[in-house]
Amino acid sequence: MSRFWSRTTHPRIAVGRGERVLASATAGDGAVLAGTRDAFYLVRDDETRRVPWEQVEAAGWDRDTDTFRLSEVGSWGEERPVHTATLADPGRLLELVHERVTASIVLQRHVAVDRRRGLRVIARRAPSGAGGVQWVYEYDEGVDPDAPAVRAAARDALELAQREVGLP
């Protein structure tokens, strides 16, 4: 065996069938954060939260405070689940999160509703390609999704995007 070869060990966590942990980190409070090809896992207080990559709305790490933050896709008007943890050494986890979330985005397009604001049409699917494409809207601050002009712009943008990529 080469002296340069090493095997990364990950904390033991229960993951989905056919999945294996690709990167992990342990938070200051003992929580374990891990990622597989298909999902992000958070194990805290003996509870496991599995978030498929296509359901991750945003993730980031504040280097100054060592705080990792991941928010889930939610429904308009409802509070989105947000998970935070202090990570002294995030290791490869940050790179994996970025790679997997990016791989789940099929299309993302901003559409103006007025001169300053608009909405995004986003197509997401599991990075493995399993399952169908999920189409969602993300509205800029101050845009009312129930306004007739916004609804029409969203509908038109969705139809155009679906035709362009050939996905219903």
CB atoms within 10 A of CB 2: 5
Q: Are both 27 and 97 inside the same structural domain?
A: yes
- Please, which residues bridge with residue 53 across strands? none
**For the chain, what's the residue count?**
168
Query: Sheet holding 118-124: strands in order across?
Result: 105-112, 118-124, 134-139
The verdict on 74 and 36 lying in the same domain is: yes
Long-range contacts of 155-161 (CB under 8 A, 24+ apart): 157/109, 157/111, 157/119, 157/121, 158/121, 161/107, 161/109, 161/121, 161/123, 161/135
**pLDDT > 70? residue 6:** no
In a domain, 14, yes or no: no
Residue 13 forms part of a structural domain: no
Q: Are residues 76 and 140 in the same domain?
A: no
74 is a domain residue: yes
- Total structural domains within the chain: 2
Q: What pTM was computed for the model?
A: 0.82
CA distance 35 to 55: 13
99 pLDDT higher than 70: yes
What band does 87 get if pLDDT is binned at 50, 70 and 90?
very high
Q: How do residues 23-46 score in pLDDT, each as one tens digit?
A: 999 999 999 999 999 999 999 998
Q: Could you say which of 53, 88, 103 is where a domain stops?
A: 103
Is residue 21 predicted with pLDDT exceeding 70? yes
Cβ contact 167:123 at 8 Å: yes
pLDDT on residue 8: 53
